[in-house]
């Protein structure tokens, strides 16, 4: 099985990590900070998602990413939480642009998520990796991550492998 990889940034990487770890076809999620090029060369919270495209496609991953963070809100913390899809190949760039264009119809406001070239990655320290799996009862997880997982459980039940959220 050959895995593809793509990176996503947009909200706290604890949340983003938990979202993608809960999906069938996602084999590995690396949590940390990603930098791109030019004006986006600073590090921003993000994850690298390793996935089996025969089980989950790029369109579904991007759609889930857009729905589980504020992909239409250009708030003051965007330098730390850049709303982005970081591509590894030119084909991923083109496909991501087409997917965003088609998905825009589902949103009332303009999607601000950028399609950026992946340049560098710095992993989180061990204590923060797999944060949700290690800390599901923490108030942060209950308040911010559980609602995202509940959305996935409801709207993406065929892709959801996480535990049932009550």
Per the CB < 8 A criterion, the answer to whether 77 and 5 are in contact is no
Is 45 contained in some domain? yes
Q: What is the pLDDT of residues 134-159, one digit of tens each?
A: 999 999 999 999 999 999 999 999 99
Q: In what order do the strands lie in the sheet with 26-35?
A: 114-117, 84-87, 4-9, 44-51, 26-35, 120-123
Is 79 contained in some domain? yes
Q: Tell me what pLDDT residue 165 has.
A: 64
Domain that includes residue 76, residue range: 4-155
Q: Is pLDDT above 60 for 166?
A: no
Q: Which CATH number is 104's domain given? A: 3.30.1060.10
User: For the whole model, what pTM was predicted?
Assistant: 0.94
* Structural domain count, the chain: 1
């Amino acid at each position: 099985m050959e895995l593809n990889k793509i990176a996503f940034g947009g909200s706290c990487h604890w949340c983003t990590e938990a979202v993608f770890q809960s999906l069938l076809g996602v084999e590995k999620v690396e949590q940390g900070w990603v930098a791109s090029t030019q004006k986006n060369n600073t590090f921003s919270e993000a994850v690298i998602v390793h996935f089996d495209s025969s089980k989950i496609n790029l369109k579904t991953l991007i759609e889930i990413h857009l729905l589980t963070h504020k992909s239409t809100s250009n708030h003051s913390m965007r330098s730390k939480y850049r709303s982005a899809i970081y591509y590894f190949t030119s084909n991923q760039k083109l496909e991501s642009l087409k997917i965003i264009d088609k998905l825009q119809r589902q949103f009332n406001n303009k999607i601000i998520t950028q399609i950026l070239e992946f340049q560098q990655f710095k992993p989180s320290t061990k204590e923060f990796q797999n944060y949700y799996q290690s800390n599901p009862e923490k108030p942060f997880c209950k308040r911010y991550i559980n609602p995202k997982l509940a959305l996935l459980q409801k709207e993406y039940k065929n892709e959801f492998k996480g535990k049932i959220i009550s």
